[in-house]
Structure formats: structure tokens, C-alpha cells
Amino acid sequence: MNTMTWLLGLKPATRALTLLGSALLLALLIASQTGTLALGPWQFITGGMTSYDWQIWTAIRLPRLLLAMLVGSGLALAGAAMQGLFRNPLADPGLLGVSSGASLAVGLWIVFPVAAFLPDAWTWQGQMLIACVGGWLTCWLIFRLGQNGQGNMLWLLLAGLAINTLAGAFNGLLSYVADDQQLRQMSLWGMGGLGFVRGSELAVGALVMLPGLFLLLSVRKQLDVLQLGDLAAADSGLDAKKLRQKVVLGTALTVGVSVALAGIIGFLGLMIPHLLRMLLGPGHRLLLPASALGGAILLLLADALARSLAAPAEIPVGLLTSLIGGPYFLWMLARGRNRGDV
């Protein structure tokens, strides 16, 4: 039996996840070989990796690859879950202000000398905690506004615009009062990047984010029931309030840690779920795990591109995702308007 016959014999959901998993391995291989130095499994197998190369691989390249997969999967999964919760294909942690809320919290952490009173080992942990709190507060606010607006798409976008504007204004004030070092840190971090985290910080971030990922994946069946409407969901025994609490908590954890570790990575949570929904259908049992894999793939490839376009310099990966996501979002709005959705 050849590979194609074996694939065709699988169930559609299993086949889709198998193909995405294979694509993730391929993206990981490409990203590991991309950059100023080609350091990856091939060099290790052929013995072309020196002890200095091995140190670079373990201290810089490998943590970066793992961070890209962690952040990419978290943002895409949170975007898919929020779209299901609001029954809205334009819901996204960035567009609705969740990323901005977490960003503002981290900006406050950077500018005000809170970290100066903590041991060095707790600096990153405190930053992740404050980012998660900022994301949670923003999620809660969006949820309240979404209730008042009956989850209307335009209403949510306007609410997200207001939150993003306020967060941007406060971040501008923080930039005004920050010193040169704080200002550069906020500027680079705000553009999004994967090169600022060490292995120990990544391990702590993964421990915080993984419960959020599992929490979001655990509600995929309930999100399918919620699409039938509030009355039908209630008749089926679904506790919509508890479901919303789980999605808000999981989103706050994943987005908060992502913002704390990698800065602002825009539009990833919008593009991946929307593309996969068109390809795989609206069912969240498949869409959520597929979005996690798709987000990891996209961010790995975007980071590989960011490291190679201007090598040995590096383009902030958040700028690349925004350059891709901005036109895609405009296309979605135009498509929705033509169909009467907006």
C-alpha cells in the first residue's frame, strides 16, 4: 500500500490532521535550516556541526523554533475559539483588543519599576502574569460589550477598535515617559519578534500556556453546539456561561503568554481559522486542533522569512504577519459586505 492509498483510507478529519502534522514537520525542517547559519538536523546527521554550532543551536535556534510553534498555535487556537464563541468569523485576539490589553499591561510592567523589586529569576514570570491579567480583563470587557451588542459583527469590531485605540493611546503615554532603554525595549517588543527569549523563559511560558491550550481544545464539542443558537444550546443542556468562562480564561492565558514572550504578532488568529474553515468546514472538533497546527506552520515560515530577507539583519516577524494579514482582512471585509454579512 503506497502513501496516497493509505491517506485516502483515513477518515477525513484524521487525514487533514495528518497532512497538517506533516506540513508542520516540513516547516520545522525549513525553518531550522534558514538564517545566517544553516544549522539543523542535516548538519547534525552528517557531522558538520561544530561544538560552537551546537551551542548556537541549543541556546538560540531551537528555543526560537519551539517559541514559534508555541505562539503560533496559541494565537490561532485562541482566534478559532473566539470566532466560535461569538459566532463571528472576524473575531480575533488582535482585532478585538485582547492583544492590545495584554500589550498595555506589559508596557506598564516595563516602564514602571515593579520588576526592580523582584529577583531576576522572577522578572519574566511577573511579565507573563501581568500580560495574562491584561488579556483576561480585555476578554471580560469584550464579552460584556458583545452581550450588549448581541454579538453583532460590526458592534464587536467597533468595540475592538475603541479598545485598540485606548490601549494605543496609553502605550503612547508610556513611551513618552519612558527612558531610552525602556523606549527601545517597548518599540522592538511591540513589533513582534522571537529572538528575545532564552530556554528557561520559554519553559516557564510553556508551563503557563499549555493549560490554556488544553482548555480551549476541551471545548470544541460545546462550541459546535453553541452554533445552533442560545435557545437550542440551552435545550441540549449546554451551560453557555461556563463555556464562555473557559474560552475567556484559555484565551487570556494563551494570548497573554504569547504577548509577553513574542510581542504583538498580528492577524495570525484571524487568517488561519478563516482559511481552514473554508477548507475543512465549520466544525470545531476539527477546526480547533487544525488551527493550532496551522498557526505553528505559518509562524515558523514567517520567522524563517524574517531571518532570511535581510540577513544578517532580521525583520520583526510581527511586521510580516501584519503585511500579510492586513490585505487578507480587507478582502474578508469586502467579501462579507458583498454577501451581506457586514
Say which CATH number the domain at 294 has.
1.10.3470.10
DSSP for 47-89, written as a single string: T---HHHHHHIIIIIHHHHHHHHHHHHHHHHHHHHHHHHHT-T
What are the pLDDT digits (tens) for 158-192?
Answer: 777 888 888 889 988 988 888 888 888 888 778 88
**146-155 pLDDT tens trace:** 665 555 556 7
For the chain, the domain total comes to 1
Residues 105-136: tens digit of each pLDDT: 888 888 886 655 566 556 667 777 888 888 88
- Whether 219 is covered by a domain: the verdict is yes
SS3 content of the chain, % helix, strand, coil (to 5): 80, 0, 20
Q: Does residue 23 belong to any structural domain of this protein?
A: no
Range of 192's domain? 55-339
Instruction: Report if residue 26 sits inside a domain.
Output: no
The answer to whether residues 224 and 266 touch, using CB atoms and an 8 Å cutoff, is no
Residue 46 falls inside a structural domain: no
What does the mean pLDDT of the chain come to? 81
- Residue 248 within a domain: yes
Average pLDDT over residues 203-207: 86
Would you say residue 188 lies in a domain? yes
Is 47 inside any structural domain?
Answer: no
Distance CA 292, CA 296 (A): 6
Please report whether residue 312 resides in a domain.
Answer: yes
Query: What would the pLDDT profile of 219-273 be if each residue is shown by its tens digit?
Result: 999 999 888 877 777 778 888 878 888 888 888 889 888 888 888 888 888 889 9
- Can you give the C-alpha Rg of the chain in angstroms? 20
Round to whole Å and give the CA distance between 63 and 76. 20
For 200, residues 6+ apart whose C-beta sits below 8 A from its C-beta are none
- Coil vs helix vs strand at 159: helix
